[in-house]
Structure 1
Amino acid sequence: MVAKISIGASLYGALSYNGEKINKTEGRILGSNKIVVPVDGSADIGRMADNFRLFMPKMGKTKKPVLHISLNPHPDDKLSDQDFESLAREYIDRLGFGEQPYVIYKHEDIDRHHIHIVTVNVNEEGKRLNQDFLYRRSKKITTELEEKYHLHKAQREKLSPDTPICKVDPDGDIKRQVANSVKMVGMRWKFQSIGEYNAILGLYNIKCEQTDGRVNGREYHGLVYFATDDNGNVIVTPLKASRLGKFASRTAIDSRFERAKDKIDIAPTRRSVADALARSSDKDGFIAKLKESNIDVVFRYTDEGRIYGVTFVDHGTQTSLNGSRLGKEFSANALQTRFSQAQPQQPIQQQPNRQPTSVPTVVPPPSSPSNTTSGTANTTNTAQPRSAKNLANDYDPIIPGLDLFQPGQSVNPDEEDFRRRLQRKKKGMRRRF
């Protein structure tokens, strides 16, 4: 039996997490101590929180007074509700919190049923209870309970670099799956930005977002993880990095960005991508050729369908690279230009008794010899040079929908003549005064 102990500051958060599962019929309350439990089996989160506060001082020095414990027997152990409750009460008593207010919940949202205990580690006088060697004492207790009740010896799942990473199974323990996948991605892969990190996680139906803000006047910078379906839709409540482990925190991921800089060799990936691009006539062919080289490509699109980001996930080198890191010709804008030119062009149709509709041709600046145009009326514009910051984030500074208004060499003679006359008039007025 594995016990997991979390020490936190939010009593309402712990009660809400468990109470919502009970109210969704994904579990039940097995018992409590000093806390009033509704007779209908529902979880009145607000009333429970008020009950807990009766046994806690209004003012106290303990910043994290809440203990949230989960007890996880081996899947082969078939226990009744009475067995679960007996185990929980004996465990919490031997841990030294048997006289504290607590609630025992049974979770049935996954096949491996388990129990959660919410209690507090301060007494009515505000004094913190003994937490010395808490985790060591907990391990000793679970081992003795396994022997006493003839339970299987359950151990924490050990991860190694060879452990396979699988997509999130919506019917399994999602938190555990996300935690394991995030940990193994960090162990194996090299990446230098959140976009490159997400390109890997997305293969396993996980995504990550940065969270920045202010709480009680203090800034915070963290990460939140989401489990998704194959279409990218979020399927469960987001998971804060702190719930998964230190390896998932923003500090840990930022440090991986820095360490990866000295370890990444882009040459092998660049050669494979260049070869696939040279042998491809369109985007679908490009994707297929990359697959042959064991490389996944992740395109990001605007609402109008324009490519604004591209990341290559190389399984051979276990590296995730934004296209701009490989070179200008592999950036999002360059690929957008190439693939849009590969699409068949629609001829301009003339209306009866009307002049043909003219479409201005946008000519690339002379300073960009590598840029090309389609040579037809429907022309795809080329991007202007990007800053180092934009390159690092594979961000295209051209705003979708405005690329028709990029400067070109097409000139209207009448407008140019009018502009010159205005300039001469202004100069004459300045001389007068």
Structure 2
Amino acid sequence: MVAIINTGHSLRGIFNYNEKKVRSGQAECIGQGNYPADIEKMGPEMKLRRLTKQAELNQNVTRNSVHISLNFDTSETHISKEKLMAIADTYMEGIGFAKQPYLVYQHHDSGHPHIHIVSVKIGPDGKRIDMQNIGRNQSETARKEIEKSFGLVVAGDHHDRERYELSPIDSAVVKYGTRDTKRALSAVLRQVLPHYQYGSLAELNAVLNLYNVSATQGSEDSRIFRHNGIVYQVNGEDKKPVGVAVKASSFFMKPTMKYLARRFEEGRVSRTVHSKRIKNALDVQLLTPGTTNFPKMVASLKALGITVVERRNASGLLYGITYVDHTSKCVFNGSALGKKYSAKAIVQRCGEEAEMTGNRTLSRATAHGSKSTTPEGEKLKNQKESVPVAATIGPRIPPADLKILDALIDPEYDSEYLPRELKGRKKKKKKRGGMDGN
């Protein structure tokens, strides 16, 4: 079983999403928790009113809705409604939502069995329920206990989880239809926006682009930019937006610039503790023999769950790097990690300065406009100019050993050290009972 938790601003929107599935025959409301009547005796208005009444106990909480999906293995089509309800009740108790009102919907519109749970994050006492890290803590514990007690297929390993992970949007399928485009965009936004930690629109786009989605405010003179709006589009094969642009306000989760500004602020703080994982991974790869090569380093990081997003201009010049850590769900621009993790520094540490100039080299002779008398002389001169000075003195030292040598001879600075010249003279203490006057 795989559990996915989302929160949102619109309780009515989440409720209507599931009820619309019911009306179209793609879902069924199979039960409830903490409602005054059985599900068969309640209409849509009564279902929604119970949720909104509790949400109104604390109107200061803007993201008051909770939308959970519990996904089962494709072989588990035999699970009865009674068992699904028992699983839902056990799960809600496991994450601390046993006393919350909730509705359970069984969906039939996917290749695997799954249920959706709609609830609120405002308690009966009007206090906001803290959901920080609930996915990796309470939810994981509840999931494992349910798999064991209900005899479900274990989905704890990476192979099983891949079935429920996002895949890039096929632009050829959705770019011609507004409805399909919006549905595809919404699926990506629900999984990326609330769960990844990012500090800017560029960092957010580094993640969205992996799924062929982009968020844009348009040019500075556009109406969208002037009104601080934002739209989402599907990217084509050339990584440029195609098809219909969908306004943020038209999605039920309302991923507007106001929402993103808050996420940027939260992300800059919450992601800090995870920066060390990326730094350590980079440092280890750059010190490992055989991987001090930019393409190999990128491949090695990908195996660790870290995607390196390269930014190049039209001529192929690499001018920026963004790191997307899918394990900690954190995104860092290279400069945000520190100068030594920027694009220029990383490529230089890999010993591939030519990568920064689109695999083009420029000799000093060419730069200063000097001419060689013969092609052979020009070739020899360029070869001499392109060899680093350090490499012409003594035996050649491998790049990995040079890095270790640098670490050994790098001086340490003591913040408490002062040169002798800057130290004040100590005053001599007078000795009591001296010879003067006695």
The TM-score normalised by the length of structure 1 is 0.42
Say which structure is richer in helix.
2
Higher relative contact order (CA 8 A, sep 6+): 2
